[in-house]
Amino acid sequence: MGSEGLELKIEFCGLGFNSPLVLLSGCVGFGNEYTRVEGFSHRDVGAVCLKGTTLEPRLGNPPHRIAETEGGMLNAIGLQNPGVDHVVSEILPGLDFSETRFIANVSGSTVEEYQEVTRRFDDSPIDAMELNISCPNVKEGGVAFGNDPEMSARVVEACRGVTRKPLITKLSPNQTDIAENARRCIEAGSDALAVINTLMGMAVDIESRQPVIGNNQGGLSGPAIKPVALLKVHQVYQVAKRHGIPIIGQGGVTSAEDALEFLIAGASAVGLGTGLFYDPLAPARINLGIMEYLQRHQLGTLAELTGSLRLHQ
Amino acid sequence: MSDPATVAPPKIVESVGVVLANDAYAGGQYILRLQAPEIAARAVPGSFVHLRCAPELPLRRPLSIMLRDQTKGWIDILYKVVGRGTAALAERQVGQQLPLLGPIGNGFSPAPRGSRPVLIGGGVGMPPMLLLASELRREPHFRPVLFLGSEVPFPFAPKPSEFMLDGLPPGVLATMPLLDDWGIPARLASGQGFAGCFDGLVTDLARAWLAQLDETARQSVHLYACGPTPMLRAVAELARGFDLPCQVSLEEHMACAIGGCAGCVVQVATPTGPAMKRVCVDGPVFDASTVF
């Protein structure tokens, strides 16, 4: 591979990651789904975020749940999950924690629910927890919390009080001042930030004059949102770097070049979601591309790239 | 109630298929032949592939495997142009390469020895029935029967069948030549007045044949179906009416097709209440009584 001495291992919130790539919540089920694909390995990624989990089981939204759009897709799954107790007792024992880090995605309708789900994951082998205060596809909680810095901080604070495991807060792009929200979440005890969740959107069937998505609206992902995500990462980085808080940059990544853009804009790790639908073997390909870039630019570590953006004066 | 889809699926392969043929038929239908040896080798009846129709459409499209040749390494896919993906697919030329994932999904669970498989396919839902028939013919004791329906001209030239089927209106003789070659009795249905076809719904054609069986013969029937949702609902009713086991293959909008996104769910009844099952990896084959 011509990458002697170079490796993509990083430390993220004290956790050892094989690579800066993180498979995003909602894209890989509860962890083992992609092992159905020949050649796919969890060893190619730093972490896997499990599907959003609530206190009680949820059926999620009615079909259709997805729709293709220009440069991306809409989804409105609606937090379908079997409930935290089932995840902890039935699913986590089946995951191979020697291959990668597994991150739970904590969701809820109330501050108390977020806190209780966090508490139950704290008492499990899970490596870290991501607070999903930005899901656009549920009626209560989710983005309703994530768009209000005060509410965001309350959720983070409540969860911080019941775990010492790393807490990653997933921020919504559907708000006025994401940097202010980031600051409040950091001050409330968040160890890291995931930037961004999906953008709220809609697709219309012109024959039936109905929204294509059963939930009427959904979350937009894919390459179409990458420029938005990059700017949000850049903005959040200005706040996060002062506190030494790392960012998982995410939104429309499909290639090593995309991942490098996020690292340069301020991310320490890079999320892969819809890009995995395009190419389930993308992680190995992206790792290779990042490695080649590091070599070409004679960089010893990925950390040298984070936030290395040279703004026009 | 046990899930009928218990055939352990093989690993999914990410590969590149080469277009060997992409032939147009009436009604916007096409039959695509792809060189894809690993998928041809691993497919089971009910399997589908997730195909990138064009470079500019990175989200793939799920399409059932209709026929495969394990020796020559090709698979055949029947599709109808219904949107951007299939329109782009229709433009693909011989020799072009198409990334595809497959085979995906739980196949039909095998019919028990001594049972009589009755296969009902509608429109672009015919392919899984044909792949299933191609497998069943290897075990002559099954004596399968097929009923195929279409509201556009069939993507083959129908001909009068050499095999008798009782209980059908006079003149309903048309079949798919390949099925005759395989020694499988079959009949066609359409509301479009095609020569030799049953004039009406394919489910009414199937009902007419089932109704003339004596009770013992009928109780050995296992129904298999794939087609538009209203047709599947009618097949499920048929199964309920005659108290017959019935497996249906479903479709839904899909993103990953690997079980990761839960985008393609269908609501099914389970012993503990309703559940959302993924069509891609929990299906696409389900027990009809749990869905309809």
Question: Which pLDDT value is given to residue B171?
Answer: 94
In this structure, are B47 and B162 located in the same domain? Answer: no
Distance from CA of A160 to the nearest CA of B (A): 29
Residue B95 is given by DSSP the state: T
Q: Which residue from A minimizes the CA distance to B275?
A: A59
Final residue of a structural domain among B104, B137, B163? B104
- On whether residue B44 sits in a domain, the answer given is yes
Interface test with B, best of A278, A281, A285 (most B CBs within 10 A): A278
Considering CB atoms only, which of B14, B267, B274 is closest to A280? B14
**Cβ contact (<8 Å) for A277 and B255?**
yes
Mean pLDDT on B78-95 = 96
Percent helix, strand and coil across chain B, each to the nearest 5: 25, 35, 40
Question: Which pLDDT value is given to residue A104?
Answer: 98
- On whether residue B276 sits in a domain, the answer given is no
- On whether residue B96 sits in a domain, the answer given is yes
Residues in B touching A33 (Cβ below 8 Å): 256, 258-260, 281
In this structure, are B31 and B129 located in the same domain? Answer: no
What is the C-alpha to C-alpha distance for residues B61 and A107, in angstroms, rounded to an integer? 31
**Cβ contact (<8 Å) for A75 and B264?**
no
Q: List B residues 178-207 in contact with A (Cβ-Cβ < 8 A).
A: none
Residues in B touching A67 (Cβ below 8 Å): 253
**Cβ contact (<8 Å) for B14 and A39?**
yes
B16: contact with A, CB 8 A cutoff: no
Q: Which residue from B minimizes the CA distance to A28?
A: B260
Phi, psi of B21 (to 5 degrees): -160, 150
Considering CB atoms only, which of B13, B261, B266 is closest to A27? B261
In this structure, are B96 and B69 located in the same domain? Answer: yes
In this structure, are B121 and B241 located in the same domain? Answer: yes
What is the C-alpha to C-alpha distance for residues A216 and A64, in angstroms, rounded to an integer? 9
- pLDDT tens-digit profile of B142-191? 999 999 999 999 999 999 999 999 999 999 999 999 999 999 999 999 99
In this structure, are B143 and B55 located in the same domain? Answer: no
- On whether residue B272 sits in a domain, the answer given is no
pTM above 0.80, yes or no: yes
Helix axis angle for A256-265 and A226-243, nearest 10°, is 40
What is the C-alpha to C-alpha distance for residues B73 and B39, in angstroms, rounded to an integer? 8
ipTM over 0.95: no
Residues in B touching A280 (Cβ below 8 Å): 14, 101, 256, 258
What is the C-alpha to C-alpha distance for residues A106 and A118, in angstroms, rounded to an integer? 7
Residues in B touching A39 (Cβ below 8 Å): 14
Question: Which pLDDT value is given to residue A189?
Answer: 98
Q: Which residue from A minimizes the CA distance to B84?
A: A68
SS3 string of B35-72? ECHHHHHHCCCCCEEEECCECCECCCEEEECCEEECCC
- Give the DSSP H/E element, type plus range, for residue B101: strand B97-104
**Encoding tokens for residue B130?**
């044909």
Contact yes or no for A211/A202 (Cβ under 8 A): yes
Please report the domains of chain A, with CATH numbers, ordered by start residue: 6-61+78-200+219-304 (3.20.20.70)
Closest CA to B40 of B13, B79, B2: B13
Cα A26 → chain centroid: 9
B267: contact with A, CB 8 A cutoff: yes
HSE-CB for A244 with a 13 A CA cutoff: 3
User: CATH number, domain at B128?
Assistant: 3.40.50.80
Final residue of a structural domain among B73, B104, B135? B104
What is the C-alpha to C-alpha distance for residues A172 and A142, in angstroms, rounded to an integer? 9
- On whether residue B268 sits in a domain, the answer given is no
In this structure, are B78 and B180 located in the same domain? Answer: no
Distance from CA of A115 to the nearest CA of B (A): 25
Residues in A touching B258 (Cβ below 8 Å): 33-34, 36-37, 280
**Cβ contact (<8 Å) for A28 and B260?**
yes
Amino acid in the structure at residue B224: Y
**Cβ contact (<8 Å) for A63 and B261?**
no
- On whether residue B195 sits in a domain, the answer given is yes
What is the C-alpha to C-alpha distance for residues A234 and B49, in angstroms, rounded to an integer? 39
**Cβ contact (<8 Å) for B255 and A75?**
yes
Contact yes or no for A306/A268 (Cβ under 8 A): yes
In this structure, are B122 and B92 located in the same domain? Answer: no
In this structure, are B184 and B138 located in the same domain? Answer: yes
Q: Which residue from A minimizes the CA distance to B53?
A: A278
In this structure, are B152 and B210 located in the same domain? Answer: yes
What is the C-alpha to C-alpha distance for residues B30 and B78, in angstroms, rounded to an integer? 6
What is the C-alpha to C-alpha distance for residues A42 and A290, in angstroms, rounded to an integer? 17
Final residue of a structural domain among B104, B128, B158? B104
Interface test with B, best of A32, A73, A277 (most B CBs within 10 A): A277
User: CATH number, domain at B81?
Assistant: 2.40.30.10
In this structure, are B44 and B165 located in the same domain? Answer: no
- pLDDT tens-digit profile of B253-274? 999 999 999 999 999 999 999 9
Interface test with B, best of A37, A206, A255 (most B CBs within 10 A): A37
| Count of other CB atoms within 10 angstroms of residue B103 | 27
Q: Nearest 5°: CA angle at B16, between B12 and B18?
A: 130
Q: Which residue from A minimizes the CA distance to B83?
A: A68
- The pLDDT-based confidence of B3 (bands split at 50, 70, 90) is very low
Question: Which pLDDT value is given to residue A1?
Answer: 39
What is the C-alpha to C-alpha distance for residues A276 and A25, in angstroms, rounded to an integer? 12
A63: contact with B, CB 8 A cutoff: yes
Residues in a beta bridge with B265: B278
Sequence-distant (≥ 6) Cβ neighbours of residue A48 within 8 angstroms: A22, A23, A28, A31, A42, A100, A101, A102, A103
What is the C-alpha to C-alpha distance for residues B282 and B284, in angstroms, rounded to an integer? 7
Digitized pLDDT (tens) for each residue of chain A, 313 residues in all: 334 445 899 999 999 999 999 999 999 999 999 999 999 999 999 999 999 999 999 999 999 999 999 999 999 999 999 999 999 999 999 999 999 999 999 999 999 999 999 999 999 999 999 999 977 666 666 677 888 999 999 999 999 999 999 999 999 998 899 999 999 999 999 999 999 999 999 999 999 999 999 999 999 999 999 999 999 999 999 999 999 999 999 999 999 999 999 999 999 999 999 999 999 999 999 999 999 999 999 999 999 999 999 999 9
B254: contact with A, CB 8 A cutoff: yes
In this structure, are B37 and B91 located in the same domain? Answer: yes
- On whether residue B280 sits in a domain, the answer given is no
- Whole domain around residue B26: which residue ranges? 4-104
The domain total for chain B is 2
DSSP for chain A, please give it: ---TT----EEETTEEESSSEEEPTTTSTTTTGGGGBTT--GGGSSEEEEEEE-SS-B--PPSP-EEEETTEEEE-----B--HHHIIIIIGGGS-TTTSEEEEEE--SSHHHHHHHHHHHHTSS--EEEEE---TTSSSSTHHHHT-HHHHHHHHHHHHTT--S-EEEEE-SSSS-HHHHHHHHHHTT-SEEEE--PEEE--EETTTTEESSTTS-EEEESGGGHHHHHHHHHHHHHHHHHHT--EEE-SS--SHHHHHHHHHHT-SEEEESHHHHH-TTHHHHHHHHHHHHHHHTT-S-GGGTTT------
In this structure, are B133 and B240 located in the same domain? Answer: yes
- On whether residue B281 sits in a domain, the answer given is no
Amino acid in the structure at residue B200: G
Question: Which pLDDT value is given to residue B113?
Answer: 87
